[in-house]
Structure 1
Amino acid sequence: MTQEVRPELQFAVSATFTAEPIERVIAFWGRELDWEISVRFAPYNQVPQTLLDPAGLFAGNGNGVNVVLLRVEDVGGVDNAVEIARLAHGAPSRFSQPLLVVLCPPSPGRESEDLLAEKRIEEILREATGVQWMSHREISALYDVPVWNDPEGERLGRVPYTEAGFAALGTSIVRHAHSMRVPPVKAVAVDCDNTLWKGVCGEDGPAGVVLEAGRKDLHHFLLDQREAGILLCIASKNNEEDVWETFAAHPEFPLAKRHFATWRINWQSKAASIVEMAAELGIGADAFLLLDDNPKECAEVEGGAPGAMAVSIPEDPGELGPFLRHLWILDHPVITEEDRRRAASIAQSLDFNREARHAESLEEFIAGLNLRVDFQPLAPERLGRVAQLTQRTNQFNNSGRRRSESEIQALLSGGRWTCYTAEVSDRFGDYGLVGALLVERGEHEFYVDTFLLSCRALGRGVEHRMLASLAEAALDEGVYTVAIPFRETARNKPMRDFLASLEGASLEREGESHVLRLKAADLQALRWHPRAAPEALIERKAQPAAPRRFAGYARIARELRTPAQIVAAVRRRGVTPPLQQGPGAPESETEIRLARIWSELLEKPVASRSANFFDLGGHSLLAVMLLMRIREEFSVELSVDDVYAGSLTLGDLARRIDAQLMGLAGPSEYEDLLAEIEGLSD
C-alpha cells in the first residue's frame, strides 16, 4: 500500500463539554502516523452555531475532518440532542470536509436518556450524506476504558472524562480519519501452515492440523473482511493438493475454498506469488496485505513485491483476535452494496477473462456479452459509492484525485457540477455501480474533472458508452465540446491508452495536465472496436517512485491497542529531555514524581524545585488536568486554590501533597514536623 503525501490535516472539534484534553492524544497519533496535524476547537458548547456558521470553524476547514462531540445531558436532553443531529444531517453541503458525529458517554444515572437519544440520532444519521456516526459503545467495544467519568474533573472544569477515556475518544477519532484518507487494502493474502491452522499439513497430514480458538478468530475476521469487499487469497509454500485436502478434512473450518478469489500454493517466493495474483485480479501489488506467521517471509514480500504490505501475526494464537481488531489498515469507514458483492464480481471478471482468452473472435465474444450500461445522474444515496471509487480506482482514473463525500457534495451544491454514474451488467452477472464522471458544465464545454471506471469493468467497452452518453447529455444542453484532462500517475496507463485511442482530439497542456478536447457530436457516435491501441497521443513520462508508506500498523496492533498503553505512550511523548540534576533540582520522591507529571503536561523539562507551573506555560485547563493527575498518582485531593496561586512552586506543591499524605492540616504543620525531626538527636 502507498500513502499519499498530504498537506496539514486539520481536526476541527466542536464539543458540548471541555474537550481540549484530546488534543494531546490527536497530536500523539499525528507523530505516530507521520502526519502533519493541527487541532482547533470551536467555543465551548457552541455545536449548533458551528454547524450553521457559513464562515465558522467547520466551513473554513479545507483539509481534514470536522468532529462533533455530543453528550446528551450537556444540551438539555434528548430532544435538543436530536435537533443537533438534524443540523448535522444538513450541514455537509456547507462544508468541504467530512463530518464525524460522536455520541459521548453519559454521566452515571443518565444512561436511559443516552440510549433513547442514540436510537433516534442513528435513525437520522445512518444514511446521511457526508456524515459519519460513531457511538461511545462502538468505541468501548474496541477500547475498554475501565472508568470513563471523572466527577472531580467535571466539577472543576467541565472535563468529564478520565485520561483513559480521552485516550480512547481521541484515538477513535484519528482512527476514523485514517480509514477515510489512506488508500485501502483491496486484497488480503494469507499463509496456511501455523497461520490459518496450527501445524504443517505436509508433515502432520491434512487431518493432523488443528484450529485453535485464536485461529478461528482469524477465520471469522477474514470472512468479515470479505463481506466488506476485501478479496481473500492464499499465498502458501506447500503442495496445493495437501492444502485443499486439509480444507476438505476440516468442514468445521469457517473458511473454505470458495471464499478465496485466487491462490498461489507452490514453492516460489511469496513476493512473486503476490505480484502474479495482483496481475490476475487487475489490481496493484501495493493493494495487497500478507498475513503470515514468518517474519522472514513478510520481509521478503515487502522487499520483492513493490508497495505490498506484510504483517507477521502474533505467535500466541490467543493474541490473534485483539491484534486483528487493531490493524488500522483493515478498517472500513463505509461498506457499500458493491463491497458486499465484490467477491462475486471478481469471480465474474475472472470468468470473463478466461472466456475472452479462448474465444475464436474477440468481436463476436463482445457482441454476445449482452452488455448493459445504465448511465444516469447521481442518485443521492449513491454518493458514498462514488466517493469510494475516487479512493479505490487507480488504473482508469484521469487525475488520481481523491475526494470525500463532503467534497463531492460541496461541488454539486453549487449548480455548475454534475455527477453521472454507470451501473453495469452482462451475461456473467451484475457488477453494480462501477463508473463515475464528475463534470463541470461551462457555457461552451463539458469539462470532465473526474473519469473513473473500476478495473473489473474494463475491457468490454463500458468507458466508450459512458463518453457517448455524456456527449448526448452535452448536446441536449446545447454544448458542443467535451474536455477531458489527464494527469499521469504511476498506475493510470489504461486511462492514458484509452484517451490516446480517441480520434479527432485536440491536445493542450494546462498546468500538470494534458487536456483533450473533442466534438460532442463525434463522441456521441463513439463505439468500441476491439483492436490494438494506436500510438500514444500523450507523451509518456518516467513513472514516479511510490510514496513512502506507513510501516507501523503491526506495532500499533501489538503495543497501542489499549487505553492504558496509549495513555502511557502519550505521557512518554510529553517528556522532552530527562529531568535535570544539579543545585535546586527536585530531590524528594514526591518532588521527582510531581516534576515528571509537570514535564508530561507542559511538554518541557522541569529542572528546579522553584519552577512555577504557570511561568512554564501552564494554564487553567492544564491546572485542572494537573489536579486530576495528582489524584491519580498520589491518591490526594487538592483544591483549585492549591494550584492556582501565582507564586506556587514545584517544591510548595510537593509539600502540600506530603502534608495530606501524612494527614496533616497543611504545609505549615508539615514544616513544623520537619523542623522537629531535624532537631532530634541520638
Structure 2
Amino acid sequence: MEPALHATRPFFFYRRSTGSRGCYRLMIDSSFRFAIASTFTAEPLEPVFRFWAEHVHERCEAVFAPYNQPLQTLLDPAGVFATNHRGVNILLVRLDDLGTHQPGELAATVRETARLRTVPLIVCLCPPASGTPGSAEQELRESLAHVPGVMWLDYHEIARLYPVSSPLHEHGETIARIPYTELYYCALGTALVRRALALTRPPLKLIALDCDDTLWRGICGEDGPAGVVLDASRRKLHELMLRKRAEGVLLAMVSRNNEQDVLQTFAAHPEMPLQLEHFTARKINWEEKPDNLAELARELGLGLDSFAFIDDNPKECAEVRENEPEVLAIALPPDEGRIPAFLDHLWVFDSAPLTAEDRARAASYQGVQEFGREMRNSVSLRDFVRSLQLDARIQPLTTDDVRRVAQLTQRTNQFNLTTIRRTEAEITALLNDGVRQCWTVRVADRFGDYGLTGVVIFEIDGALHLETLLLSCRVLGRGVEHRIMARLSEEALRNDAGAIVTRAVPTPKNQPARQFLESIAADYGEAEGDARVYRIPAEALTALEWQPELHEASRPVTGAAPRRFNHSAIDYGYIAAHLNSAAAIHAAMLDRHRIPAGVFASETENQLAAIWADLLQQAAVQPSDNFFDLGGHSLLVVMLVMRVRDTFGIELPVDDVYTPGLTLSELATRIEGYQLRAVSPEEYQALLDRIESMSDEEVEALLAGQDQDAQTPSGT
C-alpha cells in the first residue's frame, strides 16, 4: 500500500523508516553513512551514492532528513546528523528556498552545532532557480570558512569539474520539488562523494614520479638533457605536484636512469616548475622500481600504503602493483592531450583542510633525513642526543590546534598506544567537557622545527588515566616520549594521583609505542584480553630520562600490514579516464542494468527496463514485471516520469504508471503511442510519403508483422 502524502513535501516522499523521527532511508549497508538534509528533494542522489559505493568498495547507507528542514535537522539531538557516527553529514541549500534572514540564521546554527557532531559536515550551495543570489552567497561562504569540522562546496566548483549545460528541471520542480535534471544529480552526487572521501580517508604521504615521458616528453639518456620537452600537459602535472607538496605531501623521483643524465636535465631546464629542491628523496638507478619504493619507505619511516607512484608506462605500474600491492600505481594516459583532464579527476589528490604542520612537512622531513644521516655516522649515540638541543614544549590544547590534533589522531599509526581516532568535533567536545585534559607537544631541535607532533589525552580520577599518547614518527628516537611521561608523573603527583594507568592496544603498526611502554614499565603491566594494562607508580617516572643505548625500540619501523583503508584498492586511474563527466557517469549507471539484445521486443522496452532497474535497485527486470510489485512508490513514480520525459521526450501522465497491473511492456507501448502523437505535421507527412513509396508486398509484410505482435500474449 502506498503511504499517505506528507504535508510539507509536495506530493511525494520516501517511505519512513521505523523509529527514525520522520526521516526517510534507503539502506545500502550500515558502514558509512551519508546523512542528508536539504531545502529541496534530495533523494535522486541515492542511486549516485550507490553507484560510487561499488567503485570505491565502501558499503554505505543514505539517510534523508524530512523535506526542507535544515535548521531542525542541525538542532535535533536525535536527528540524522546527531546520530551519525561514521560518515559525513551533508547540508544541501538553495538560497531561493531560504527566507530573507535565514542564511544568517543557518550559518549561526551550523557554527553552534558543528562542535557537537562526531563527523564532518559538508555545506553545499546548489544552483539557484533563477537569477543571481547576490551577496548572500558570499556572506554564507565567508561565515563558514573557518568553522572546525565544516567543509564548503558550491555549484561553481561542481560546474568546473562536472559541467552540465542545463541543470534545472522545471517540470520536476513543479511536481515534486526535484529542481535538477538527472544529469545534474549525477554531477552533484559525484562531487559530494569526492569531498566525503577527501575528508575521511587517510591521506597520501608521498608521491613518487618517474622521469622520462612523465616529468617531461622524451628520454634524457637518448635525446640528451636539452632534447627533452616540457609540454603543456606535463606542465600541469608539475603544477599539481607543487600544490601537493605545499599541502605537505612529500615528492620523490623513482626512475630507471643514469642519475647524472637526470640531474643535467633539471639543470638544462630552469623553466620547469619542479626542480631538484622540491624532491625529498630520489632513487635514480637501474634497480627495479618496486625495490626502490620499498627502500624509500624504509629510509623515510613511512608505510607503502601511503605511497602513490606515477609513470607513463602501464607495464611499470603493473610491476609495482604485482610486487608492492599497497602502493597506488597510476599510469598516465598515452594521449598526452588527455593528461590535464585526467589529473583533474584523480580523486586521490583531492585535499582535506590543511594545517600549518601540513604545509611545513616537506621541509621537516629534510631535517629528519639529516638527523638520520648524522645519527648513523655518530661515534656515540649518547653524545649525539646531547647535541640535539631538543625542545619539547608540552602545553594545554587551544582551539587553534583542534584541527591538527584531530588530524594526528587520524594519521598516527606507529607511536600510538590505542589508535583512538577522533574528529575535530570530538576534540572540540573533549576540550569543553571539563573532565579530560588534552596536551599538545611541539618539538624542535637543531635540525628543524617539526611543529605540533604529539598529543596526550588523560583524566584524573584517583589515578591519572592516560587515554591517548601519540607522536609523529618524524620525532621518534629523540627521547620526547620520555619527557612526556615524566611530565605526566609530575601532574599525577600534583593532583594526589598515585599512579598512571594506561592501556597498550596492539595494532599491526604500533609496535614502537608498545615497546616503549614495556621498556619503562615492564614490571607494572598485565594482560587484559588482547591489550596490556599498565598501572605505574607516579614516583617511578619523575626522573625518567632516555638512555639511547638501551632504547632503540622507539625508532620507526616499516613493513607492517596496511591500514584499513587502502588507496590501491580503488581504481582511481579508471575513474579519471572513463568516469570524468556527468554524462559518462550517467551512462555507466544505466549500463549496469542494460539488458542483452533479444530479451525485449523493442528498444523502448530495453531503455525503460534499464530505468526501472536503476530506480528500483533490481539486477534485472522482465517485460511482464509491474513497477509497484518491484518496490516502486510515489517518489519513485515522479522520478520515473522525469526520466521518461528526459529519455523519450514525452510527458507521461502519472495516472498511466498507477494503472493496476500495468507491465513494463504495456508502459513501453503507451510511451511509443505518445511519441507517435507528438510527431510534427512535417514528420507525419514524411512518414506518409515513405508508406506511399513502399510496394504492396512491403506494406502487406509490415501489417502482417504488426498483427502478429498484437496477437502475442503479454510477457511471453
Counterparts of 1:579 and 1:473 in 2: how far apart (Å)? 75
- The 5-angstrom pairing of residues 502-651 of structure 1 reads 502-503=520-521, 505-533=523-551, 549-574=568-593, 578=596, 581=599, 586-604=600-618, 605-608=620-623, 611-646=625-660, 648-651=662-665
CA contact (8 A) 1:501 1:534 kept: no
CA contact (8 A) 2:416 2:469 kept: yes
CA contact (8 A) 2:622 2:664 kept: no
Residue 3 of structure 1 corresponds to none
CA contact (8 A) 1:469 1:524 kept: yes
Deviates more, 1:483-492 or 1:354-363: 354-363
Does residue 14 (structure 1) correspond to residue 37 (structure 2)? The answer is yes
CA contact (8 A) 2:460 2:492 kept: no
Query: CA 1:346–1:74 in 2, change beyond 3 Å: closer, same or farther?
Result: same
Residue-by-residue CA offset, 1:198-254 (whole Å, 9 max, x unaligned): 111001100000111111111101101101110000000111000010011011111
Counterparts of 1:534 and 1:188 in 2: how far apart (Å)? 29
Aligned-residue offset at 1:393 = 1.5
SS in 1 for 2:221: helix
> What amino acid is aligned across from residue 92 of structure 1 in structure 2?
A
Among 483, 487, 503, the alignment partner of 2:501 is 483
Residue 428 of structure 2 corresponds to 409
Residue 83 of structure 1 corresponds to 105
> What amino acid is aligned across from residue 335 of structure 1 in structure 2?
L
Residue 473 of structure 2 corresponds to 455
Among 95, 98, 115, the alignment partner of 1:72 is 95
Residue 47 of structure 1 corresponds to 70
Query: CA 1:379–1:152 in 2, change beyond 3 Å: closer, same or farther?
Result: same
Counterparts of 1:592 and 1:201 in 2: how far apart (Å)? 54
> What amino acid is aligned across from residue 20 of structure 1 in structure 2?
E
Aligned-residue offset at 1:323 = 1.4
Aligned-residue offset at 1:61 = 1.5
Q: Which runs of 5+ in 1 are unaligned?
A: 1-5
SS in 2 for 1:21: helix
Residue-by-residue CA offset, 1:155-207 (whole Å, 9 max, x unaligned): 11001111121112211222222223322210000000011111110011000
Aligned-residue offset at 1:571 = 2.0
Among 125, 133, 142, the alignment partner of 1:112 is 133
Counterparts of 2:123 and 2:514 in 1: how far apart (Å)? 40
Counterparts of 1:80 and 1:487 in 2: how far apart (Å)? 47
SS in 2 for 1:425: strand
> What amino acid is aligned across from residue 112 of structure 1 in structure 2?
P
SS in 1 for 2:457: strand
Alpha-carbon RMSD across the aligned residues, in angstroms, is 2.9
Query: CA 1:588–1:318 in 2, change beyond 3 Å: closer, same or farther?
Result: closer
Residue 710 of structure 2 corresponds to none
Residue 303 of structure 1 corresponds to 322
Does residue 166 (structure 1) correspond to residue 185 (structure 2)? The answer is yes
Aligned-residue offset at 1:503 = 4.1
SS in 1 for 2:195: helix
SS in 1 for 2:416: coil
Residue 512 of structure 2 corresponds to 494
Aligned-residue offset at 1:117 = 2.7
Query: CA 1:544–1:206 in 2, change beyond 3 Å: closer, same or farther?
Result: closer
TM-score normalised according to structure 1 size: 0.90
Aligned-residue offset at 1:404 = 2.1
Deviates more, 1:276-285 or 1:139-148: 139-148
CA contact (8 A) 1:504 1:518 kept: no
Q: Percent of counterpart pairs with the same letter?
A: 46
Deviates more, 1:97-106 or 1:303-312: 303-312
Residue-by-residue CA offset, 1:396-442 (whole Å, 9 max, x unaligned): 11123333223333444433222211111222221111111122x14
Does residue 325 (structure 1) correspond to residue 344 (structure 2)? The answer is yes
CA contact (8 A) 1:99 1:131 kept: yes
> What amino acid is aligned across from residue 193 of structure 2 in structure 1?
V
> What amino acid is aligned across from residue 583 of structure 2 in structure 1?
A
> What amino acid is aligned across from residue 329 of structure 1 in structure 2?
V
> What amino acid is aligned across from residue 107 of structure 1 in structure 2?
A
Residue-by-residue CA offset, 1:37-89 (whole Å, 9 max, x unaligned): 11111110111111111112111122221111111111224x30231122111
Residue-by-residue CA offset, 1:359-383 (whole Å, 9 max, x unaligned): 3333233223222122111111211
Residue-by-residue CA offset, 1:509-546 (whole Å, 9 max, x unaligned): 2333112222223323222232133899xxx9x97677
Does residue 245 (structure 1) correspond to residue 267 (structure 2)? The answer is no
> What amino acid is aligned across from residue 636 of structure 1 in structure 2?
I
Query: CA 1:518–1:14 in 2, change beyond 3 Å: closer, same or farther?
Result: same
Query: CA 1:591–1:497 in 2, change beyond 3 Å: closer, same or farther?
Result: closer
> What amino acid is aligned across from residue 109 of structure 2 in structure 1?
L
Query: CA 1:345–1:159 in 2, change beyond 3 Å: closer, same or farther?
Result: same
Aligned-residue offset at 1:315 = 1.1
CA contact (8 A) 1:377 1:420 kept: yes
Counterparts of 2:530 and 2:161 in 1: how far apart (Å)? 43
Query: CA 1:648–1:262 in 2, change beyond 3 Å: closer, same or farther?
Result: same
Query: CA 1:117–1:508 in 2, change beyond 3 Å: closer, same or farther?
Result: farther
Counterparts of 1:157 and 1:163 in 2: how far apart (Å)? 14
Aligned-residue offset at 1:8 = 0.9
> What amino acid is aligned across from residue 463 of structure 1 in structure 2?
E
CA contact (8 A) 2:55 2:570 kept: no
Residue-by-residue CA offset, 1:650-682 (whole Å, 9 max, x unaligned): 4554344334333369xxxx9xx99x996999x
SS in 2 for 1:408: helix
- The 5-angstrom pairing of residues 291-440 of structure 1 reads 291-305=310-324, 307-439=326-458
CA contact (8 A) 2:509 2:561 kept: no
Deviates more, 1:499-508 or 1:329-338: 499-508
Deviates more, 1:401-410 or 1:45-54: 401-410
Counterparts of 1:212 and 1:664 in 2: how far apart (Å)? 52
> What amino acid is aligned across from residue 248 of structure 1 in structure 2?
A
Does residue 275 (structure 1) correspond to residue 294 (structure 2)? The answer is yes
Query: CA 1:663–1:208 in 2, change beyond 3 Å: closer, same or farther?
Result: same
Aligned-residue offset at 1:93 = 3.2
Counterparts of 2:288 and 2:614 in 1: how far apart (Å)? 47
Counterparts of 2:90 and 2:528 in 1: how far apart (Å)? 37
Counterparts of 2:562 and 2:183 in 1: how far apart (Å)? 40
- The 5-angstrom pairing of residues 16-35 of structure 1 reads 16-35=39-58
Residue 166 of structure 2 corresponds to 147
Counterparts of 1:25 and 1:509 in 2: how far apart (Å)? 47
Query: CA 1:67–1:524 in 2, change beyond 3 Å: closer, same or farther?
Result: farther
Query: CA 1:511–1:94 in 2, change beyond 3 Å: closer, same or farther?
Result: farther
> What amino acid is aligned across from residue 128 of structure 2 in structure 1?
P
Residue-by-residue CA offset, 1:341-363 (whole Å, 9 max, x unaligned): 11111111112222222333332
SS in 2 for 1:402: coil
Counterparts of 1:190 and 1:545 in 2: how far apart (Å)? 22
CA contact (8 A) 1:98 1:407 kept: no
CA contact (8 A) 2:305 2:563 kept: no
Residue 19 of structure 2 corresponds to none
Counterparts of 1:285 and 1:595 in 2: how far apart (Å)? 45
Q: Which runs of 5+ in 2 are unaligned?
A: 1-28, 692-699, 708-716
Query: CA 1:266–1:23 in 2, change beyond 3 Å: closer, same or farther?
Result: same
SS in 1 for 2:290: helix
How many residue pairs match? The answer is 655
Residue-by-residue CA offset, 1:13-41 (whole Å, 9 max, x unaligned): 11111000111111111122221111111
SS in 1 for 2:63: strand
SS in 1 for 2:43: coil
